Structure 1
Amino acid sequence: MANGSDFTKALEIGRPPNVAKLFPNSKALLVSGKVIDRAMGAKGNAIALAANGRNHFVIRGVLQAAQRANAAVIIEIAKSEGGRSAYCPVNYWNMARQVDAVCNELGITVPVAIHADHYGIKSDKDLAEAKVEVPTMFEAGITSIAIDASHLPDDKNLLANIAINPSIPSWAGLETEVGEIKGSQGLSTVPEALFLIQGLNAHDIFPDWIALNNGTTHGLEASDAGIQVGLTAEIHHALEKYKVSGAQHGTSGNSSDRLREIARKTATTKANVATALQMISWGLEVNDYGNAQLDANGNFIKVKGEGVTEEMWVEMVAYAESKGWKKGDYKSLNLPFENKLLAQPKEVRERMARRVEDFAYKMITEVLNSQDTAQLAIQAILKAGSYDVGAKIGRIEDPAQWTEGKIVERAATIGGDKGPSGNFDD
């Protein structure tokens, strides 16, 4: 396990300044997302579980699983889940506090990154707000961020990433995205991904991860089409010299075999899991890879004696029905029911977290191959002698070829099918 003199030294030097300031007496090793990526790369064919902590029980269960597997891990929340219009009680501004508290309470010693996922920028107004809001998130303990301007045309996506970068600490983990997550439509292409990464490189921005639209969807997986491994591998190969890893979105509902293939055949080091963990914490029946199962009447199946109490589940379903919510809207139960769930008896709360732990442990050890990466993350910190492990690469591209005018000109030559327009959930 991650303890002893190496852990003590990593705790001393490996926590970023915002974390050290917020939690001066903490024994929790909250680290930059860069550290987690480096650990997965050091092991090889390993992917960090990036768990969307939609409720307290998910956070608790995943941290217990990571400790059990001796795995470096990421706890994250997306803008739609935990931004200013949140549908979850966990948000950008309280997530680090919750993780730090649980780590100290339970004696968690594995390195944990606090990731602001899918920070969406869809307009000039969003960009202006981001310049104010992003610093507040780091002040609240965020250690890694995904800038998602993929809803915009290629030139505006790149320019938005460039414009917001001064608001992001250089030591922080950084994810960028090309192609909205739309399932099998509007799939990302090699030219689009190269354009984004090359343009960022020319401006001395070196993302740790790139997320693609490679065939998945967010939420409940309606089909088994899922991740297109070949496309992902092709794009990662094209980006190889820029040393950017892959971030896999929409993991819930994809088969374990497909995720193992992603680990083996691509440069992916981060896999987001959200919906599955939420459903598991509530006690719903899921298949082997976390997709909630429905009965003959199209209703979720509550496993008796697992997750929330049967009475609580009846109340949750009644609330959802009173709102006219479809199955994909049940995620919005997180916010109004968190306090009610925390008010359940201890044995119920513990079984909720334990169910998440068991599923997350199985993912870490049998699918994502990230067990025993905690020490590799600590070694990355000790090697750097700092919380800032630096970029994996320097500038390759000529800035003179990537002025704003030339970015617009280049983008016009890319083409490609962006898929249907609409409000695709982050």
Structure 2
Amino acid sequence: MTKPLIYSSDFETALDLGRPPNIKQLFPNSKALIVSGKYIDRAMLIKKNCMTIAANGRNAFVIRGALAAAQRANAAIIIEIARSEGGTAAYCAVNLWNIARQTDAFMNELGITIPVAIHADHFGIKTKEDIEPAKTQIPSLFDAGITSIAIDASHMPDAQNLLANIELYPFVPEWAGLETEVGEIKGKLGLSTAQEALFLIQGLNAHNIFPDWIALNNGTTHGIEASDTGINVELTTQIHEALSKYKISGAQHGTSGNNSERLRDIASKTRTTKANVATALQMISWGVEVNDYGNAILNNGQFIKQKKRGVSEQLWKEMQAFANANDIKGGNFKKLNLPFENKLLAQPKEIRDRMAKDVEDFVFGLLTNVFNTTDTARIVIDEILKNRSHDPGFKAEKIEQKNNWTTEKIMETASMMNTDKGPEGNFDD
């Protein structure tokens, strides 16, 4: 792998040209190359057969570790937080309004020179009533330094999902990375189909909306995988092929717990360029024992805390006691992030350092040995220099006719679709 550009003339030019206007305004003197999510996606497509990590920064140690790993690998990455993790009802102290500030600060502190996008993941629109307040909240995210967003209305029926995306698109800057989603993440239940994905992407295309990524329900789950079934590579490949003329990439959710070979297949056999990793990084930062692909190992339903790894033994006892007192189990250990944030930060430096270092080593392994992301940082910088802009433009062009995708025709077409959304329920983001 090549070494990252350390404040070279190319880097300085990319810093001047490639940072979006919100980033320049927020951090005028920064040396952090925070870019649009579009550039991260383009770099993966140019290299081919690779994807990058979208690291859910549930705590400062995850963000620091992921950035250090990317610098070692000379890889362009995404730092993200989902609305459920860091929105107005957050269970993490890192949130949608401070994640860019934290990332920028860590990049300057650590001398990180690889390109990074800041992504608001799963900005959930679960009912029609969520749309109006989103018209205020979405601009507030970009005011706070977000450079990419996932408008996730997949909890609603197909027609309402499409219509919500159309209605909210004007509130997303044209230069920003954009993700859309079809099918809630329910594991093997309610799997997405090519018909559903085409309906969403064709309807958006007709309205001059060209997402960079689409997320599917392709067999995986969020949190801890109960079994090693996970991602359905064949289904993913089939849907991506059906969407190929719309030039949209895949976003893989629920990556934690899928074995390395399956993730290599997703990178090499599909059009996936973005792989979300959340639970694995959280558990590793705390010192919980995981297998080689990040799934927590349980002993009689209990997590195994490794000695001299992650948080201090005393703090882990406090976290367990809090979980027991509040009936917090399994994947819901994520609810410990907010109440314990300050106690995590108050630990001795050697413990804080080892927490970030374990995340770094795990992410470095993913980037270099599984995702094939090595040296994509240089590709982003070359693309910025070529475009001489913070906005690389759209990959796709309009194919569909708007008059075929009016509200009435959207409702009519959706009513004739034969879909299985799986069981009802509150499937967490």
Q: TM > 0.5 between the two?
A: yes
Answer whether contact 2:210 2:396 (CA < 8 A) is retained. yes
- Kindly indicate whether residue 125 of structure 2 is the aligned counterpart of residue 150 of structure 1: no
2:422 is aligned with 1:419: yes
Secondary structure in 2 aligned to 1:146? strand
Which secondary structure does the structure 2 equivalent of 1:118 belong to? strand
Is 1:285 the counterpart of 2:296? The answer is no
CA RMSD of aligned residues (A): 0.6
Structure 1 stretch displaced more, 187-196 or 373-382? 373-382
Q: Distance in 2 between matches of 1:396 and 1:298?
A: 52
1:19-34 equivalence runs, <5 A: 19-34=23-38
Residue 44 of structure 2 aligns with an amino acid whose one-letter code is M
With normalisation by structure 1, the TM-score equals 0.99
Q: CA deviation at 1:140?
A: 0.1
1:369 aligns with 2:372: yes
Q: How does 1:284-303 map to 2 (within 5 A)?
A: 284-295=288-299, 297-303=300-306
In the alignment, structure 1 segments of 5+ residues that lack a partner are: none
Query: Residue 272 of structure 1 corresponds to which residue in structure 2?
Result: 276
Equivalent residue, structure 2, for 1:173? 177
Q: Specify the SS of the correspondent of 1:108.
A: coil
**Offset at residue 204 of structure 1 (A):** 0.3
Which aligned segments of 4 or more residues in structure 1 are displaced greater than 2 angstroms? none
Equivalent positions of 1:6-405 (< 5 A) are: 6-295=10-299, 297-405=300-408
Residue 264 of structure 1: how far off its partner (Å) = 1.1
CA distance in 2, matches of 1:289, 1:37: 23
Deviations 1:42-78 (A, max 9, x none): 1001101000000000000000000000000000000
Length, aligned pairs only: 425
Q: Which runs of 5+ in 2 are unaligned?
A: none
Amino acid at match of 2:159: D
Provide, for residues 367-412 of structure 1, a one-character-per-residue CA deviation record: whole Å limited to 9, x for no partner.
0000110010111211211000000011110111011111111111
C-alpha displacement of 1:2: 2.6
CA distance in 2, matches of 1:168, 1:262: 28
TM-score, L = length of structure 2 = 0.98
* Alpha-carbon shift at residue 186 of structure 1 (Å): 0.3
Matched residues in 1 for 2:407 and 2:374: separation? 44
CA contact (8 A) 2:301 2:330 kept: no
Question: What letter corresponds to residue 166 of structure 1 in structure 2?
Answer: P
- Secondary structure class of the residue paired with 1:361: helix
Kindly provide the CA deviation profile for residues 166-217 of structure 1, in whole angstroms up to 9, marking residues without a partner as x. 0000000000000000000000000000000000000000000000000000
Measured after TM superposition, the shift of residue 294 of structure 1 is 1.1
- Report the CA distance between 1:111 and its aligned residue: 0.2
Q: Distance in 2 between matches of 1:241 and 1:382?
A: 27
CA deviation map 1:291-340 (0-9, x unaligned):
01112x32100110001011110110001111011112100111011110
Q: Distance in 1 between matches of 2:245 and 2:385?
A: 26
Which AA in structure 2 matches 1:129? P
The Cα offsets for residues 7-53 of structure 1, whole Å up to 9 and x where unpaired, read as 11110010000000000000000000000000000100110100000
More displaced stretch, 374-383 vs 87-96: 374-383
Range that drifts further, 405-414 or 35-44: 405-414
> How far apart, CA to CA, are the structure 1 residues paired with 2:332 and 2:211?
32
> Which secondary structure state, in structure 2, belongs to the residue aligned with residue 250 of structure 1?
coil
Q: Which amino acid aligns with 1:236?
A: H
Q: Distance in 1 between matches of 2:97 and 2:383?
A: 27
1:131-188 superposed Cα distances (whole Å, 9 cap, x missing partner): 0100000000000000100011110000000000000000000000000000000000
